[in-house]
Amino acid sequence: MTQKRTAILAALLSATALSGAYAADPIKIGVVTPLSGTYAGIGQQVKWGLELATKEVNAAGGIMGRQVELTFEDEEANPSVAVQKADKLFQVGKVDFLTGTVNSGSTLAVGQVAERAGKLIATTVSFADSITADKCSPNVFRVNARAGQQSSALAVWLSKEKPKAQVFYLGPDYEMGRSTVAAFKSSAEKVGANSTGEVFAPLDSKDYTQYFGQLRAAKPQVLYTSVAGNDTVRLFTQLQEFGLLNNLTVVGASGTVTAQNLGAIGKAAEGFVTGVGYSAEIDTPENKKFVAAFKAANKSDPDLYGADSYGLIYAYKAAVEKAKATDTDKVRAAFKDLKWMTPQGEKTLRGGDHQAVQTMYVVKVTGGKFTIVGQVKGEDAIGPDTCTRF
Amino acid sequence: MVDALTRSMRASHVLVAILVAASLAVAAFGVATNDTFYLRLATEALIFAGLALSVDILLGYTGLLSLGQALYFGLGAYLSALVLMVIPSFWAAFAATAVVAALAGLIGGFIVNRVRGVYFALITFGMAQVAAKIVYNTRALGASDGLIGVPVININLGIASVSSASPAGFFLFVLALIVILYALSAYLLDTPFGRLLIALRANEARIPFLGYRTMTPRLVAYVLAAMVAALSGALYPMLRGFVSPELFFFATSGNAVITVVTGGAGTLVGALYGSVLLTVLKSVIGSYTEHHLIVIGLLFMGAVIFLPKGLMGSVRPLIERMLAREPKQ
């Protein structure tokens, strides 16, 4: 009888000992991203990128022996919905870390929720400079390139290819359009370009030819534009019809010419140059491996959102392994000046403003496809740290 | 002897009392389980219930379909956020919102009340879109990013103070405010002025023959609705700590209309129940599928087809019958 009891006790003890050894609850990462609506396409890439990296990390033993678990919530690209979902993931889902927000409004608002809940978040998509500048938060990180990095990369390339170029600016007439033009103008002038004039056309303009007189009179060598979507299609085809594309280099924001409107613009897009943080064309073994795995898993090419989201999981893994914990303060300290490998090469999270510093790429439309024509070192494109909160 | 309209208003009061009792139970449960998320979600439901209430004053009583009530909700939210960032006082924000909303409602009312029916709906929609675009493109208002950094405030109630960061405390405070807004609207709509609004909805051409002007009551109803919407909106930045231009968008106005129709137009209490139901449903369904909008759409269609008077429009007659029976016993 006693023997039996001790045997049971021993069995129980060994069972608890075993569960102690496994003491590995999964590490939970919340993802608040648009899965429906206008930005659903971006949310899809975010999801694919995160899932691929998580699968790889889990297959290789997880983070400190703990598996990684993703929980998705649809934010409908609406900050009011995003904060509600973030609150849910923090309070009910008890996630250790949160990511996925796309539009800058959502990232800023969710950043504040994280601050009040004492958790950390990272964005892999939002471009607005303010997130890691005047509206920076100790609890918010950005692993993708911000708008300023894209425009300085383009400006650096421009200063090499066309020193002291005469530049004309044409932007869409709304807040974002005006601020992108202002940002590029200041970085271009810093590296020696001369501004010959600027004009703003209303969103959804049907006729851009009314601005062509001004454009010709200014005699620019370079035209910078930050129009997007179908506006780009009309602007470029009209420029071509008027023969203005001869002897004119057209450069622009990363969203001006994309895979979506490239086909519709056709030949007029030839020679367009822009600065980006990632391109599937990057010719490194890491990127080739990533693109192949991404295609195999999702039957679609990765874009910058997919690549940056993929890279984030490895950043978090590196930080948690360095901190040996998932506590907010320890992970934040570990993220400071963290260096880690991503498909687009090594990135560094700058401690002063939580912005990732990375090699920037300059791509050009050649034969209807984007090809990489230049690289700009991370330090040359990053710009000063203007965050004063921490 | 009370007439049918007063009796149905009393039935609404009974339903509000039930909602308040249920809310108190939820608050007690929330405190017991140390919950944050569900109490804040319930607070948000009540805030949007205030917006729906304002739509019901127009749609259910005066017969005016406003597709742009988010204009005043957003106005209240932005104004409150701006005031709180300078003076962190609830009463300053609330007073400023009340004054500005009354003025804005008066100006807006003069514009929209020149037309009737579908044109009214279109102009209210257009005005809200114009406001949304202006806010979206004004850098001083945070443009597309909105404003973050609205401070946590302590609301001084004389005998006690409530922190906007305390989930249960702020929930009860918002509950009290929304019930007061409901009570004020219900009181006004039960006066002869309220009867005039109902008559306006029924047959506007006849009102002048009874010796009343039609412009004045329409305008008063519009200003009242604007103030209810703006004062509810003023609570939003206190709860979430930020405002964004999306608060002005059609999605916000449209949701309020769906809430009222589902809950029961012309009952006032329907707006409250409808908002609680829709907010909770959205949050729960949204976590299971990205096609939650389809589910909400189907529910709305189902409500319109099978419960044409809305949820409360179907429940309230039962209460009315109970109230009518009482004096005999």
Largest distance between two CA atoms of chain A: 104
Condensed to tens digits (0 to 9), the pLDDT of residues A313-362 reads: 999 999 999 999 999 999 999 999 999 999 988 999 998 999 999 999 99
Q: Which residues of A121-144 are buried (b: 16+ CB within 10 A; e: fewer)?
A: bbbbbbbbbbbbbebbbbbbbbbb
Pairwise pLDDT comparison (B323 vs B269), residue with the higher score: B269
d(CA B72, CA B108): 10
> N- to C-terminal Cα distance for chain A?
66
| Contact (CB<8Å) B143/A175 | yes
Q: Please name the residue of chain B whose CA is at the shortest distance from the CA of residue A30.
A: B287
Q: Provide mean pLDDT across the span A130-154.
A: 91
Q: Which residue of B has its CA nearest to A130?
A: B145
Report CB contact under 8 Å: A80, B293: no
Is B143 part of the contact surface with chain A (CB cutoff 8 Å)? yes
Q: How far is B323 from chain A (nearest CA, A)?
A: 40
The string of pLDDT tens digits covering residues B59-105 is: 999 989 999 999 999 999 999 999 999 999 999 999 999 999 999 99
> Each residue of A78-95: pLDDT tens digit?
899 999 999 999 999 999
Q: What is the pTM of this model?
A: 0.87
Compute the distance between CA of residue B65 and CA of residue B275 in angstroms, rounded to an integer: 18
Shortest distance between the Cα of A47 and any Cα of chain B, in A, equals 13
Residue A7 confidence class, pLDDT cut points 50, 70, 90 = low
β A345-349/A27-33 pair status: unpaired
Mean pLDDT of B4-14: 89
- Å between B99 CA and nearest CA of chain A: 26
The answer to whether A109 contacts B148, with C-beta atoms less than 8 Å apart, is yes
> According to the model, what pLDDT value does residue B271 have?
95
Provide the CATH number for the domain formed by A27-145+282-358 in this structure.
3.40.50.2300
Contact between A313 and A340 (Cβ < 8 Å): no
B162, containing H or E segment: strand B161-163
Tell me which residue in B41, B136, B290 faces A36 most closely, judged by beta carbons: B290
B135 inside 8 A of chain A by CB: no
Nearest CA in chain B to A31: B287
Q: What angle separates helix A175-190 from helix A147-161, to the nearest 10 degrees? A: 40
User: How far apart are the CA of B143 and the nearest CA of chain A, in angstroms?
Assistant: 7
How many residues are there in chain B?
A: 329
Nearest C-alpha of chain A: how many angstroms from B94?
21
Closest CA relative to residue B70, chosen from B250, B261, B257, B262: B250
CA closest to B141 among chain A residues: A175
Q: Which of B20-24, B199-203, B296-300 is most confident?
A: B20-24
User: Confidence band (pLDDT; 50, 70, 90) for B181?
Assistant: very high
Average pLDDT over chain A, rounded to whole?
Answer: 89
Mutation target to probe the A interface, by most A beta carbons within 10 A, among B73, B152, B240, B282 is B240
* Whole-angstrom distance, CA of residue A250 vs CA of residue A225: 8
Architecture of domain B4-328: Orthogonal Bundle (1.10)
Q: Is the pLDDT of residue A8 over 80?
A: no
- Interface touch B241/A113, C-beta < 8 Å: yes
At a CB cut-off of 8 Å and minimum separation 6, what does A214 contact?
Answer: A197, A199
Q: Would you say A251 and A154 are in contact if contact means Cβ atoms under 8 Å apart?
A: yes
Tokens of B301: 């269609």
Instruction: Break chain A into its structural domains and give their ranges.
Output: 27-145+282-358, 149-276
Quickly name the fold that domain A149-276 has: Rossmann fold (3.40.50)
Predicted pLDDT at A180: 86
Q: In 3D, which of A105, A171, A111, A96 has the Cα closest to residue A142? A: A111
What the block records as the tokens of B304 is 């319109």
Instruction: Work out the pLDDT band at B296, boundaries 50, 70, 90.
Output: confident
Q: Best interface-test mutation with B: which of A46, A47, A84, A180 has the largest number of B CBs within 10 A?
A: A84
**Contact predicate A21/A277, CB 8 Å:** no
pLDDT digits (tens, 9 = 90+) for A236-266: 999 999 999 988 999 998 888 887 788 889 9
Using the Cβ of A116 and the Cβ atoms of chain B, whether some distance falls under 8 Å is answered with: yes
CB atoms within 10 A of CB A239: 21
Give the chain A residue whose CA is nearest to the CA of B43. Answer: A84
What was the ipTM of the complex prediction? 0.89
Q: Which of A91, A126, A173 to mutate: most B Cβ within 10 Å?
A: A91
Over 80: is that where the pLDDT of A9 sits? no
B251 lies within 8 A of chain A by CB: yes
Does A254 or A30 have the greater pLDDT score? Answer: A30
A42, A72, A80, A121: best to mutate for the B interface, most B CBs within 10 A:
A80
| Domain-wise residue ranges, chain B | 4-328
pLDDT of residue A310: 95
CA distance B121 to B116: 8
Q: Other C-beta atoms within 10 Å of A205: how many?
A: 18
| Band of residue A301 on the pLDDT scale cut at 50, 70, 90 | confident
Q: Say if the Cβ atoms of B240 and A80 lie within 8 Å.
A: yes
